C-alpha cells in the first residue's frame, strides 16, 4: 500500500472526517448517553452500531439512494424530522426521569439492542447524509484507480476515525459512570444534561427538515 503523503487526497479526507466526527451531534450524544447509562459495554456497543450504520450509508450512496434524497428535498426533510423525533424521544426519556444514571442501567437491555438503536440513530442522522452527498464524492478521482477501491478506503478511514473518537468518549464516559456512582445527585444532573443535549440536537435537526419540506 502506498503511504499517505501530506498532499494525498486521502490524508485531506482523514483530516476533514476527523473534524466532522469530533463535532458534537446526534451520534456523539447517543454514545455518551449509552456509556453513562449502561457503562463501557453499552458505549462500545453504540460505537459498533454507528460504524455499521456508516457502512450502510456508503452502500446506500453507492446504490443511488443518496441521489434520490437529493432530488427529492421533501423526502429528505421528512427523514430529518423522523430522525429528530427518534432522538428527541431518547433525550426526553432521560430528562423526565428522576432516577440517577446508574439506575437507568441497560443491564436488562442486551448489547445488541444498543447496537441496533445506534444503527437507527446513524441512519436517521442528517449529518451522515449530507456528508455522503456533499463531501464523499469530492474525493473520488477517475485517475486514481478503481472507484470501488477508493470508496472502500475512505469508508475504512471513516470507520477507524469513528472508533478512535467515539470509542475514546465511550471509555471515558464509562469510567466517569463508575466514579459518579457515589453521587446520585450529580448523576441525575448529568443524565438530564445529556437528555437536554439530545433534545437540542433533535430540535436543530427537525428545524432543518421542516425548511426542506
Are the CB atoms for 40 and 170 separated by under 8 Å?
yes
Residues 6+ apart with CB under 8 A from 27: 21, 50, 121, 122, 125, 127, 128, 166
- Give pLDDT tens digits for 64-74: 655 666 666 67
Confidence of residue 129 (pLDDT cuts 50, 70, 90): confident
Grid cell 432522538 — which residue? 87
Q: What rounded mean pLDDT belongs to the chain?
A: 76
d(CA 174, CA 34): 9
The pLDDT of residue 105 is above 60: no
pTM equals 0.72
Amino acid at each position: 500500500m502506498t503511504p499517505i503523503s501530506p498532499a494525498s487526497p486521502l490524508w485531506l479526507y482523514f483530516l476533514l472526517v476527523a473534524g466532522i466526527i469530533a463535532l458534537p451531534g446526534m451520534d456523539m450524544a447517543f454514545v455518551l448517553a449509552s456509556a453513562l447509562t449502561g457503562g463501557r459495554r453499552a458505549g462500545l456497543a453504540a460505537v459498533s452500531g454507528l460504524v455499521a450504520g456508516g457502512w450502510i450509508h456508503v452502500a446506500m450512496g453507492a446504490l443511488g439512494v443518496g441521489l434520490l434524497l437529493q432530488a427529492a428535498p421533501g423526502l429528505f426533510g421528512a427523514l430529518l424530522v423522523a430522525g429528530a423525533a427518534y432522538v428527541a424521544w431518547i433525550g426526553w426519556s432521560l430528562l423526565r426521569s428522576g432516577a440517577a444514571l446508574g439506575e437507568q442501567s441497560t443491564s436488562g437491555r442486551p448489547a445488541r439492542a444498543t447496537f441496533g438503536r445506534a444503527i437507527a440513530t446513524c441512519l436517521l442522522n442528517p449529518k451522515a447524509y449530507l456528508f455522503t452527498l456533499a463531501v464523499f464524492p469530492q474525493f473520488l478521482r477517475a485517475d486514481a484507480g478503481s472507484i470501488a477501491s477508493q470508496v472502500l478506503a475512505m469508508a475504512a478511514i471513516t470507520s477507524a476515525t469513528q472508533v478512535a473518537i467515539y470509542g475514546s468518549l465511550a471509555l471515558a464516559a464509562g469510567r466517569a459512570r463508575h466514579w459518579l456512582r457515589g453521587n446520585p445527585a450529580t448523576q441525575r444532573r448529568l443524565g438530564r444534561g445529556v437528555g437536554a443535549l439530545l433534545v437540542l440536537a433533535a430540535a436543530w435537526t427537525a428545524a432543518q427538515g421542516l425548511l426542506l419540506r
